Every structure is written in C-alpha cells, then in structure tokens.
Structure 1
Amino acid sequence: MGPKRSTNTNKANASAAVVIQAWWRGTLVRRTLLHAALRAWVIQCWWRHKLAKLMELRRRTTLEFFARQEWAVVRVQSWVRMWCIRQRYCRLLNAVRIIQVYWRWHNCHTRGFIQGDYELKEDRLNIQLEISLGSQACKVQQCIPLPIKE
C-alpha cells in the first residue's frame, strides 16, 4: 500500500496546490479589478468636477451677458427719457420766450416809451423827443436858451 498512498498524497498535494493557485489568481484578479474600479472612480470624480466648473463658467458668462444687456437697456431708456424731457423743456422754454416777447411788446405799447436826442450849442439846448403811448404818438421839438453868465 505504499505506492498508492504516495499517489494519493501526490494527488492531494496537487489538488491543494491547484486550490491555492486558484485562490491566489482570484485574489490577484480581484485586486486588479479593484484598482481598475478605483482608477475609474477617480477619473469619474475628476470629470464630474471639470463638468461642474465648466457649467459654473457657462452660468457666470450667461449671467454677465444678461447683466450687460440689462445695463445697456437701462442706459438707452435713460437716454430716451432724457431726450424726451429735454425736448419738452426746450418747447416750454420757447413758449416762455414767445410769451415774454409779446408781453414786453404789449407793455411797451400800453405804457409808452420816450425816444429822442439832444444837441447842445453854445447857449442853447435843442431837444427832439418822440413820446409814444399805445397808438398815440407825440413829437416835441424845443429850443431852450441856457442862462450863461459872461
């Protein structure tokens, strides 16, 4: 029975060696798969981080563009309002000037005015006056002797 027993132990040893080798190869495969999964997870985390930064950049760019558009709209609206108010102010100012011109002309004609000139000669003063009161006009010419002591 000696030789059979050695073949049984050889078979048992070979079988145990196969089991150990299978376990070791499985461990190596599982370790390789774990490392590959970890590397894939790291790459996915990095990619998600990059996508989040890209989305934040797009959001910020869109927001800044919108803010610039809003600012431009507000600026144009203020210019248009300023232009309309200035037009209205200029029209009112023109109306005021027209009213003042007519009022001054009316006052001048109702109150009257005096226009004239004078000339001073040796011992006389010649005066020519034109007095206007509304539609009436009066012309005065007078020569006044001056009291000069010799």
Structure 2
Amino acid sequence: MVLQTRTAPMLPQHPPKEDPSSKSAVALQSWWRGVLIRRTVHQATLCVLVIQKWWRRASFWRQEERRVRALALYVRPIRATVLLQSLVRMWHARMQYKKYQKAVLVIQNKWRQHICQRESVFAGNGLADEGVDVNIEIIVG
C-alpha cells in the first residue's frame, strides 16, 4: 500500500532583499575585473605588435634577399652578353684599323715610288749634274 501524502503547494519565493553594500561590492569587483582584463588585453596587444613588427621585418629581408638573388641571376647573362658584344665590336674595330693601316702603307709606298721616278726623270735631264758638290776629307790622327 502506498501512502499518499499530500504536500502543500509551493508558494512562490521572493528573493531575499539585497543589501545596498553588496551591490557596491559587486560593482567594485566588476570594475576591478574589468581593469585587470583591460591590462591583460593591453599587454597582449603590445606583445602581438612586437611579434608582428619582427615578422614583417624578417619577411621583408627574406623577400629582399630573394629579389637580390633574382636580380643577380638576371644581370649575369646580361653582363656576359654586353661583354661579348663589346669584344666583338673591339675585334671588328681592330680589323678595320689594320685594313686602313695597310691602305695607308700602300698609298705611302706608291707616293714614294712616284717621287723617286719623278726625281730620276729630272736627274736624266742633267739637273742633277748641276747639283751640290760634296767634298769629304778624312783626317787620320
């Protein structure tokens, strides 16, 4: 057999009246926790900024090193090409100079031959006979 007991219906309970000093304590505690959280967040922000600054600097230098290496790889063949071109131009200029030098020698030789032939023609006319009389004395001591 089950005994049935009747319980009294539950009456709504009213919250206990709060003490005004407890409200002040809660507000003070809430303010202090806020101050501590803001300090922590501020400190974490400063740490994050230092890390970001270091990372950006490291990334910049790494990128700069890559850029310099790529530029060196690009410049090396260009320099070699320019050097080769200058050597070919120098060789060509030297060959041209030698060609002109040979031409000058040919012209000079032909001119000298012409002068000699002209003088020999004049010498055949007797002009050389009336030339300067050269007397050489050798004194042996």
TM norm structure 2 = 0.52
Counterpart-to-counterpart distance in 2, 1:23 and 1:148: 157
Corresponding residue to 1:97 among 71, 87, 90: 90
Instruction: Select the residue among 54, 71, 79 that pairs with 1:78.
Output: 71
1:113 aligns with 2:105: yes
Please, what is the CA RMSD of the aligned residues?
A: 3.7
Partner residue, 1:47? 40
What corresponds to 1:8 in structure 2? none
1:149 is displaced (CA, Å) by 6.6
Measure, in 2, the Cα distance between the counterparts of 1:39 and 1:148: 133
For 2:4, the equivalent position in structure 1 comes to none
Q: Deviations over 1:15-74 (max 9, x none)?
A: xxxxxxx868x4444443333222211100111111111122222222222222233333
The aligned runs of 1:119-130 (5 Å cut-off) are: none
Letter in 2 for 1:37: S
Count the aligned residue pairs: 102
Higher relative contact order (CA 8 A, sep 6+): 1
**What is the distance in 2 between the residues matched to 1:147 and 1:99?**
51
Q: Percent identity?
A: 4
Q: 1 CA distance for matches of 2:132 and 2:37? A: 122
CA-CA distance at 1:148 after TM superposition: 5.4
Amino acid corresponding to residue 99 of structure 1 in structure 2:
H
Tell me the TM-score normalised to structure 1 length.
Answer: 0.49
Q: List runs of 5+ in structure 1 lacking aligned partners.
A: 1-21, 115-130, 133-139
1:61 aligns with 2:54: yes
Higher strand share: 1
